A and B are shown apart, each in its own frame.
Chain A
């Protein structure tokens, strides 16, 4: 349907002799909500970090609107400002308040005026329900709240696609819901999202596409109905049945 934002061709990544990703081919289209599932160590997070160039791919290309961004380091910062990232451990700037966290990128990277940045930061903080906490420092708020601020910080850059690296894995169970609710809202508003997750219910109910990764390769991908209802590969079936038994 939509235009292709990201196209990944033959992407591989090795840490020394340890090959983490093998020959990954993968596209992200506008409006896609893609969940990447798979066991720990299957390369999900590394794939996401490669897409945001936090890891340098060993080989292969990452096309952003048909321009290869892998390999040439020159435009990495500019490219990253279009591709938001939400981390497992939040990574909010500890020396800034909640509001400043959401403003600094707009001012320093997008060169927006302070008032304009403040306005848009407040808009996105409102959206994630963190507007009341603008004066708090990250160490003063809970994990779920931190993650919502991190989402607002990424949104404030108005990225074309938002990457989530296990956004709820570091949270206490009672905080998972508030973060997933925000993510679901974003998905419904048409935000293009790429989510590495262990929340199978989110993958099944919110995403438009599910990618199952196993040992550094994309084992199976398709609609949530197909992956959860009628998985083709034995590995996928084993993985999903492990989750159901819990």
Chain B
């Protein structure tokens, strides 16, 4: 108990002295996570759509070649960026691009660091989202696509207006997952000097040697961010589902209750055993 009170006072002291640094860290983490998740989702959607363009053996060879090429490229992208650590990807892009382009592409200054960080996290998120989107599209009943095609919609129209809105709803939990992972995993961006929340910890702890109190503060900070994110995502899901009730405009004249379409005396047109029928086709 004594220790806990000590910790609390240490944390309070740290916060009192360095709260502006911590808040800047939180702000940068949030901005990076939100922007990169949004861009990552867009990349994921584009890859998911490219991956699910219908192709058949009757297509002209050139079209088949291009579609196959697209699928291979998307596949390589997904496997490479899903299969390597983000911290290494950051190093590769931050130092690799200038290296390969003889410094004509450089990430210099604060702006450069931001660009590189957003780029790396977005590309990484995109690789995960590409698979989620593909799964989301596959999960939609093919009947939806057929219904849209039957009224003359093109593949793009079908995707935009029918399949993707439903797929988006289905993969929203996945997007939430990715967002929360991004909130935490942006911490590896300290490797390229990005000052997010965890980088603040490193600099504060380095200056004060209060490693544990600072880490405790960070834990609480990250947990608060992810809890708020979870809450907002749940709320968004509920909102997208819409109201479960609807309003009738007036009465429906055509609805018939059970049995009424089969008139007892005459037998309706659609009654398999109407009296006329039995009379004519007597066995």
Interface residues as binary, A36-80 with B (CB distance below 8 Å gives 1, 0 otherwise): 000000000000000010101000000000000000010011111
Min CB–CB distance A160 → chain B (angstroms)? 12
Residues of A contacting B166 with CB < 8 Å?
Answer: 94-95
Min CB–CB distance B155 → chain A (angstroms)? 9
Interface residues as binary, B23-41 with A (CB distance below 8 Å gives 1, 0 otherwise): 0000000000000000000
Is B270 a contact partner of A202 (Cβ separation < 8 A)?
yes
Residue of B nearest to A107 (CB): B161
B211 within 8 A of A: no
How distant is the Cα of A94 from the Cα of B168 in the complex, in angstroms? 13
Is A244 a contact partner of B281 (Cβ separation < 8 A)?
yes
Residues of A contacting B104 with CB < 8 Å?
Answer: none
Is B147 a contact partner of A81 (Cβ separation < 8 A)?
no
Is A91 a contact partner of B147 (Cβ separation < 8 A)?
yes
Residues of B contacting A129 with CB < 8 Å?
Answer: 252-255
Interface members, chain A 193-246 (any B CB < 8 Å): 199-202, 204-206, 228-229, 243-244, 246
Interface members, chain B 135-151 (any A CB < 8 Å): 141, 143-144, 146-151
Residue of B nearest to A244 (CB): B281
Residue of A nearest to B145 (CB): A91
Residue of B nearest to A157 (CB): B151
How distant is the Cα of A93 from the Cα of B163 in the complex, in angstroms? 9
Min CB–CB distance A112 → chain B (angstroms)? 13
Min CB–CB distance A49 → chain B (angstroms)? 9
How distant is the Cα of A205 from the Cα of B277 in the complex, in angstroms? 10
Q: Flag the segment in B121-129, B194-202, B225-233, B261-269 that touches A.
A: B261-269
Residue of B nearest to A202 (CB): B270
Is A201 a contact partner of B274 (Cβ separation < 8 A)?
yes
Residues of B contacting A229 with CB < 8 Å?
Answer: 280
Residues of A contacting B255 with CB < 8 Å?
Answer: 129, 144-145, 178
Knowing A77-B153, A137-B246, A201-B274, say if A174 contacts B259 (CB, 8 Å).
yes
Q: Which of B149, B249, B269 contacts A205 (CB 8 A)?
A: B269
Residues of A contacting B169 with CB < 8 Å?
Answer: 95
Interface residues as binary, A166-190 with B (CB distance below 8 Å gives 1, 0 otherwise): 0000000010111011101000000
A33 within 8 A of B: no
Min CB–CB distance B249 → chain A (angstroms)? 5
Knowing A52-B150, A77-B149, A78-B152, say if A109 contacts B270 (CB, 8 Å).
no
Q: Which of B152, B248, B257 contacts A105 (CB 8 A)?
A: B152
Is B150 a contact partner of A178 (Cβ separation < 8 A)?
no
Residue of A nearest to B282 (CB): A244
The A/B interface has a contact count, at CB < 8 Å, of 148
Number of interface residues of B (CB under 8 A): 50
Min CB–CB distance B98 → chain A (angstroms)? 46
Min CB–CB distance B54 → chain A (angstroms)? 10
Is A85 a contact partner of B157 (Cβ separation < 8 A)?
no
Min CB–CB distance B43 → chain A (angstroms)? 23
B165 within 8 A of A: yes
B247 within 8 A of A: yes
A140 within 8 A of B: yes
A13 within 8 A of B: no
Interface members, chain A 76-116 (any B CB < 8 Å): 76-82, 84-85, 87, 89-95, 97, 104-105, 108-109
How distant is the Cα of A12 from the Cα of B271 in the complex, in angstroms? 35
Is A154 a contact partner of B152 (Cβ separation < 8 A)?
no
Of B242, B252, B254, B259, the most chain A CB neighbours within 10 A belong to: B254
How distant is the Cα of A127 from the Cα of B117 in the complex, in angstroms? 58
Residue of B nearest to A127 (CB): B254
Residue of A nearest to B157 (CB): A108
How distant is the Cα of A13 from the Cα of B262 in the complex, in angstroms? 39
Knowing A94-B166, A136-B246, A201-B274, say if A105 contacts B259 (CB, 8 Å).
no
A24 within 8 A of B: no
B58 within 8 A of A: yes
Q: Which of B144, B152, B157, B251 contacts A94 (CB 8 A)?
A: B144
B6 within 8 A of A: no
B250 within 8 A of A: yes
Please name 6 further chain A to chain B contacts, defined as beta carbons within 8 Å, in addition to the given A85-B150, A137-B246, A174-B257, sorted by A numbering: A91-B141, A135-B247, A199-B272, A202-B270, A229-B280, A243-B272
Instruction: Show 18 A/B contacts (Cβ-Cβ < 8 Å), sorted by A.
Output: A54-B146, A54-B150, A77-B149, A81-B152, A84-B150, A90-B143, A91-B147, A93-B161, A95-B165, A128-B254, A131-B249, A135-B247, A135-B249, A153-B151, A174-B258, A176-B261, A201-B271, A229-B280
Per CB-CB distance, the 10 closest pairs between chain A and chain B, nearest first, are A129-B254, A81-B152, A177-B261, A91-B147, A105-B151, A174-B258, A85-B150, A91-B143, A109-B152, A136-B246
Q: Which residues of B contact A (CB under 8 A)?
A: 56, 58-59, 141, 143-144, 146-154, 157, 161-162, 165-166, 169, 242, 244, 246-262, 268-272, 274, 277, 280-281, 283
